[in-house]
Amino acid sequence: MIAILLCAGYATRLYPLTENQPKSLLPIAGRPMIEFILDKLHPLSDLKHAYVVTNHKFAEHFSKWARAGKFPWPVTIVDDQTLTNEDRLGAIGDLSYVLKTHTPGIAHDMVVLAGDNLFASPLDHFVMHGIDRRPAAGIAVYDVKDLELAKKYGIVRTGPDGKVLEFLEKPQNPPGTLASCGVYWLPKETRPLLDRYLGEGHNADQPGHYMRWLAHHHGLFAIPLEGHWYDIGDLNSYQSADALFRSTDKV
């Protein structure tokens, strides 16, 4: 099993904080944000390697961070060679780039994580439930419990068994309040589907588009995360999370 952290965005909504600093390395309670995410991978005994994909503008920032860190598995920084928000590959484009440049011809089970979502739940429970549902993919969800708030997120509608029936990006009329948490279980059986999805010319940016496609063409299950979840999307959410984590042990 490998983990891939998607950290190649330019975080323009957080300017000026992220003009010269990647969002995933911004400090939360004195630690780089990305380290809270990596902590949740520690219980995964089968994890062999973690890849952090970033853009060329911030590649050296991540390389410097990784050289100073100590991790229970190798952490490789992958430079996707883009320089601006306008020429970015997109999250699914970056996922494909990592696989083609660093694991060509090899199909791995994968945990894929957005580099700006903080959550309290270790990922062993999430992966266990994903394995139980293979060859289907899995998506972590969190109940935001508010239809107005749900308009800000990717929202899933599920059947009684947890199977995803619908995935909507920031819907104006949400069918529910289960939000995608930016954590995905992609078993090795889905590897050829990624090539097919991109080869058909589908959206390479937001992961929700690929998740919706997987739900329709292959099978996708929602797996609830326990505890808290924080989506760091703008200055207010970043400052709120930082203040909260400084005052209490939430993650």
What pLDDT, on the 0 to 100 scale, is given for residue 249? Answer: 60
**How far is 76 from 54, CA to CA, in rounded Å?**
11
With CA atoms as reference, report the closest residue to 189 among 139, 135, 138. 135
CATH class of the structural domain 2-139+180-247: alpha beta
Q: How far is CA 80 from the centre of its chain?
A: 16
> What does the domain layout of the chain look like in residue ranges?
2-139+180-247
d(CA 198, CA 190): 13
172: three-class secondary structure by DSSP? coil
Q: What is the pLDDT of residue 45?
A: 92
Q: Which residues of 138-177 are buried (b: 16+ CB within 10 A; e: fewer)?
A: bbbbbebeeeeebeebbbbbbeeebebeebbeebeebebb
- Cα distance between residue 133 and residue 221, in whole Å: 8
User: What gap in Å lies between CA 170 and CA 135, rounded to an integer?
Assistant: 28
pTM for the structure as a whole: 0.94
- DSSP 8-state symbol, 193: H
Q: What is the pLDDT along the chain (251 residues), one digit of tens a residue?
A: 999 999 999 888 889 989 999 999 999 999 999 999 999 999 999 999 999 999 999 999 999 999 998 999 999 999 999 988 888 899 999 999 999 999 888 889 999 999 999 988 899 999 999 999 999 999 999 999 999 999 989 999 999 999 999 999 889 999 999 999 999 999 999 999 999 999 999 999 889 899 999 999 999 999 999 888 888 988 988 998 888 888 876 56
CA-to-CA dists, residue 205 to 96, 111, 210, 211, angstroms: 11, 18, 9, 12
Alpha helices by DSSP H, listed for 32-171, are: 33-39, 59-68, 91-102, 124-132, 147-150
